[in-house]
Each structure stands twice: as C-alpha cells, then as structure tokens.
C-alpha cells in the first residue's frame, strides 16, 4: 500500500467526523431536544400498545374483538407502511450519500423524493380512518385501532410538512455550512418509520394470530 493510499480518508467519514468535532452547543442542544421529543412520544404510543394487550387479555364479555369485526384491507396497511419505510430509506440515502459526501444534488433529490413518499403515505392513512369498517362502539380492537391511527396520522402530516421545509431549505443551499437539521430530522423520521412498523404489527398482525 502506497503512502498516498494509506493517507486516503473516506470523504463520508471525514465529513461525519468533522461535523461531530465542530458541533456547537446549539447543535448539541437541538439533538437533545429531538431525542427528548421522540422518547416522550414513544411512551405515549406505548400506552396504546399496553391498552391493546390489556383489553385483549381480559376480553370482558367477548368485547375485545366481537364477531364480524376485522381490520381494514391489509393491502392498505401494507401500502402505508411501505411508503413510510421507503421514504425513510431514501432520506437516509440522501443524508449519507449526499450531505456527508458534499454531493448536494443527491441530498436535494433524496429529500424531495422522501417528502413525496411521505405525502403519499398520508393518503392511505386518511382512507383507512375514513372507512375503517367499524365504529368506536365495536369493541376494544376498534377503539385501539382508531386511537392509534387517529394520533399517528396527524403526526405524520406534521412531519411531512416539516420534511418539505427541510427539502426547501436544502434547495436554497442552507445546509452547505451545517447539516445539523438533516441529522436532527433524520432521527425523528427514523422514529416515525419504527412506529409505523410497530403500528402495522399491533393492528394488522398480532390480534389476528390464531392464538390471539
């Protein structure tokens, strides 16, 4: 290995390391704030999951999931999950292959495509809430379903609006000096993807296992 090869530095690693070393107090506080936000929201959603398990276990008078109550079309649930996860993957591609390599064309593309996929994910959520196939009086499962989706959908709308703002700031070239906003929102968007997956498993899969 030549001396030049030995001294070569991965641009992504160099960018990441430089970003960590040069973070200001404001940057660190911003990261702490977003982490406190999604940790608190995690406990909020955990209360719904606990409520679901509790209602399912006690199943008083067979009202956990009365006869005839079923989840909305599973294709709809899979579509909304797929769009959110795809949006997250594209976002992180833009972050790592764009921001950390100083390739701002990739960054712009990744952010705008992620925002588009996120906006498309809102549509099946709205359809699902508008026509769930049951009412709030249809037992425990129906109540938990509407509660979880009724909270996650507005949260997704707000997150997509924020993502559009991040994409627009990228278009204006505001991340050339500092990409902390990309990192901060990336953590939150990754959390949104994780909750989308948990919601799908909790609402479309687990209650319909034969042993459930």
44 has pLDDT over 60: yes
195 has pLDDT over 90: yes
Tell me the Cα Rg of the chain: 21
Q: Are 49 and 198 in contact (CB under 8 A)?
A: yes
Write the DSSP symbol of residue 100: T
How far is residue 82 from each of residues 38, 117, 124, 194, measured CA to CA in Å? 21, 9, 11, 12
User: What integer is the mean pLDDT of 4-8?
Assistant: 45
pLDDT of residue 22: 63
Residue identified by tokens 């359809």 is 127
Contacts of 142 (CB under 8 A, 6+ apart): 69, 132, 134, 135, 136
pLDDT of residue 35: 94
The predicted model scores a pTM of: 0.83
pLDDT of residue 3: 44
pLDDT per position as a tens digit, 66-94:
887 777 788 999 999 999 999 999 999 99
> Residue 1: pLDDT band by 50, 70, 90 thresholds?
very low
pLDDT of residue 156: 97
> Residue 23: pLDDT band by 50, 70, 90 thresholds?
confident
Q: In the predicted model, what is the mean pLDDT of the chain?
A: 86
136 has pLDDT over 80: no
Q: Which CATH class is domain 25-208?
A: mainly alpha
pLDDT of residue 64: 81
Domain boundary assignment for the chain: 25-208
pLDDT per position as a tens digit, 158-194:
999 999 999 999 999 888 888 899 999 999 999 999 9
Query: Six-digit token pair at 207?
Result: 């209650």
pLDDT of residue 10: 53
> Residue 6: pLDDT band by 50, 70, 90 thresholds?
very low
pLDDT of residue 211: 52
Q: How far apart are the first and last CA of the chain?
A: 60
């Amino acid at each position: 290995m030549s001396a030049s090869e030995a001294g070569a530095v991965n641009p992504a690693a160099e960018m990441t390391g430089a970003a960590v070393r040069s973070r200001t107090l404001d940057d660190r506080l911003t990261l702490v704030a977003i982490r406190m936000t999604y940790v608190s929201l995690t406990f909020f959603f955990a209360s719904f999951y606990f409520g679901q398990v509790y209602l399912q276990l006690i199943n008083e008078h067979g009202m956990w999931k009365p006869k005839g109550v079923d989840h909305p079309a599973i294709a709809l649930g899979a579509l909304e999950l797929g769009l959110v996860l795809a949006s997250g993957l594209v976002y992180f591609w833009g972050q790592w292959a764009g921001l950390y390599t100083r390739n701002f064309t990739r960054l712009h593309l990744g952010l705008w495509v992620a925002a588009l996929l996120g906006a498309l994910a809102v549509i099946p959520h709205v359809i699902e809430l508008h026509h769930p196939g049951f009412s709030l009086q249809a037992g425990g499962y129906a109540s938990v379903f509407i509660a979880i989706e009724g909270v996650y959908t507005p949260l997704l709308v707000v997150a997509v609006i924020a993502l559009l703002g991040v994409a627009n700031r990228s278009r204006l070239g505001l991340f050339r000096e500092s990409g902390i906003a990309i990192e901060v929102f990336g953590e939150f968007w990754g959390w949104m993807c994780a909750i989308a997956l948990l919601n799908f498993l909790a609402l479309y899969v687990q209650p319909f296992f034969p042993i459930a």
